[in-house]
């Protein structure tokens, strides 16, 4: 069984997967720590996910990360869910335990918070009035759980598809969440000190995010989860207006820390060289 093998093999399952930065990140950390092992991209169609996951122990995998579009389906397929993944109904990390069973967890929310805390240590004071979350997809779910756990007083969710924002709010059943209309997003900026874009707007090949950022109060924090490009139109404007601007690479790196530990048995060092390596990989065509 996989738990008994000496190989340190892990990977990331998604569809498509060619553009994932995770292999670059884990291989960089492996090499730097002088550890034997590998981390491979696994392109798995949705129809083959169950079969692929079931084969992981026999193939000697210590575990895998799970990415779009499989996070929710994987939560239904693993043998056991850690509380964070059970609460979100989504898995981004599966480890193979010593008996060859698949244990699912979700480190996206932790990654988001670690990134925010490193970039803006006083973000909680700045966000005292509340936060505005744009989007209600998979990433929004993890960010919302993290912000609630961190004690943010009020969280407005604005999503193009209003029903999806309402469903997300209902998932958490927390009176601090307010589902708002997509057209209210600019007006809501006056009421918050933290803005988080979890939509795909502003991403390469996607339309820009239209927002009246002049309405956001001084000293606010703006986070964009999009990391292709690293400096989105939203972040550029936030920086120009003097807000603290946080890009999506930090979340990507910090969500991978518990994964690397689970796969290879030691914590990686998150430092400037890690970010420089990924930035270089992002800049390659
Ligand atoms: N930095 C990181 O570590 C990290 C981690 C996860 C995700 N992300 C990034 O976060 C983004 C979202 O990922 P996801 O997995 O949450 O995707 P998802 O589940 O597909 O959700 C996409 C979201 O974008 C909204 N959207 C898409 N096109 C739109 C448009 N034209 N106008 C307004 N809203 C639009 C969707 O609204 P509807 O509900 O109306 O369709 C939905 O809220 C991606 O850019 C992804 O790369 C980054």
Burial class (CB within 10 angstroms; exposed 0-12, middle 13-18, buried 19+) of 177: buried
Q: pLDDT band at residue 3, thresholds of 50, 70 and 90? A: very low
Q: Whose CA is nearest to atom 35 of ligand 1?
A: 199
Q: Cα(104)–Cα(11) distance, rounded to whole angstroms?
A: 14
68 Cα to the center of ligand 1, angstroms: 10
Q: pLDDT band at residue 6, thresholds of 50, 70 and 90? A: low
Question: Of the residues 4, 6, 31, 71, which is catalytic?
Answer: 71
% of the chain residues with pLDDT over 90: 96
Q: Residues 258-283: what's their mean pLDDT?
A: 97
pLDDT of residue 123: 98
Q: Cα(59)–Cα(40) distance, rounded to whole angstroms?
A: 13
Q: Residues 167-189: what's their mean pLDDT?
A: 96
End-to-end CA distance of the chain: 39
**Mean of the per-residue pLDDT values of the chain:** 96
pLDDT of residue 284: 83
CA–CA distances in Å: residue 200 to residues 51, 66, 74: 30, 19, 22
Fold of 2-106+255-283: Rossmann fold (3.40.50)
Estimate to the nearest angstrom the gap between the alpha carbon of 268 and the chain centroid: 18
Fold of 120-247: Rossmann fold (3.40.50)
Residue-wise pLDDT for 126-157, tens only, equals: 999 999 999 999 999 999 999 999 999 999 99
Residue-wise pLDDT for 188-214, tens only, equals: 999 999 999 999 999 999 999 999 999
Q: Which of 187, 184, 124 is nearest to 159 (CA)?
A: 184
In ligand 1, the atom with minimum distance to the C-alpha of 199 is 24
Q: pLDDT band at residue 4, thresholds of 50, 70 and 90? A: very low
Q: Whose CA is nearest to atom 7 of ligand 1?
A: 139
- C-beta of residue 82 within 8 angstroms of C-beta of residue 97: no
Q: Whose CA is nearest to atom 2 of ligand 1?
A: 252
Find the DSSP H helices in 127-198: 138-149, 162-172, 185-188
CA–CA distances in Å: residue 257 to residues 36, 57, 107, 129, 267: 17, 22, 9, 31, 7
pLDDT above 70 for 26: yes
pLDDT above 50 for 121: yes
134 Cα to the center of ligand 1, angstroms: 9
Q: Whose CA is nearest to atom 39 of ligand 1?
A: 161
Are both 2-106+255-283 and 120-247 of the same fold?
yes
Kindly list the domain boundaries of the chain, sorted by start residue: 2-106+255-283, 120-247
224 Cα to the center of ligand 1, angstroms: 11
Q: Is 198 in the pocket of ligand 1 (CB under 6 A)?
A: yes
| Mutation choice for ligand 1 from 160, 231, 247, CB with most ligand atoms inside 8 A | 160
pLDDT of residue 7: 64
Q: Cα(106)–Cα(112) distance, rounded to whole angstroms?
A: 12
Per-residue b or e along 38-69, where b marks 16 or more CB atoms closer than 10 Å to that residue's CB: ebbbbebeeeebeebbeebbeebbbbbbbbee
Q: pLDDT band at residue 89, thresholds of 50, 70 and 90? A: very high
Q: Residues 233-258: what's their mean pLDDT?
A: 98
- C-beta of residue 223 within 8 angstroms of C-beta of residue 196: yes
> Among this protein's residues, is 71 annotated catalytic?
yes
Q: Residues 89-115: what's their mean pLDDT?
A: 97
* pTM, to two decimals: 0.95
């Amino acid at each position: 069984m996989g738990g008994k093998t000496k190989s340190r093999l892990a990977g990331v399952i998604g569809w498509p997967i060619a553009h994932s930065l995770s292999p670059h990140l884990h291989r960089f950390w492996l090499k730097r720590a002088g550890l034997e092992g590998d981390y491979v991209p696994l392109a798995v169609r949705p129809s083959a996910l169950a079969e692929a996951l079931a084969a992981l122990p026999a193939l000697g995998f210590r575990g895998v990360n799970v990415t779009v579009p499989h996070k929710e389906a994987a939560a239904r397929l693993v043998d056991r869910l850690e509380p964070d993944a059970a609460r979100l109904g989504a898995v981004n990390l599966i480890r193979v335990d010593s008996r060859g069973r698949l244990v699912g967890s979700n480190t996206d929310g932790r990654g988001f918070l670690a990134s925010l805390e490193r970039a803006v240590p006083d973000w909680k004071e700045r966000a005292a009035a509340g936060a505005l979350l744009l989007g209600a997809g998979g990433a929004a779910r993890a960010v919302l759980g993290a912000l609630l756990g961190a004690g943010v007083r009020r969280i407005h969710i604005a999503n193009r598809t209003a029903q999806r924002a309402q469903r997300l709010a209902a998932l958490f059943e927390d009176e601090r969440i307010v589902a708002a209309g997509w057209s209210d997003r600019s007006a809501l900026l006056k009421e918050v000190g933290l803005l988080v874009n979890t939509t795909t707007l502003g991403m390469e090949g996607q339309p820009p995010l239209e927002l009246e950022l002049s309405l956001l109060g001084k000293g606010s924090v703006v986070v964009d989860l999009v990391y292709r490009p690293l400096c989105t139109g939203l972040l550029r404007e936030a920086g120009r207006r003097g807000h603290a601007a946080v890009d999506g690479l930090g979340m990507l790196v910090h969500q991978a820390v518990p994964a690397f530990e689970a796969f290879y048995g030691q914590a990686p060092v998150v430092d400037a060289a890690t970010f420089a390596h990924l930035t270089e990989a992002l800049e390659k065509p």
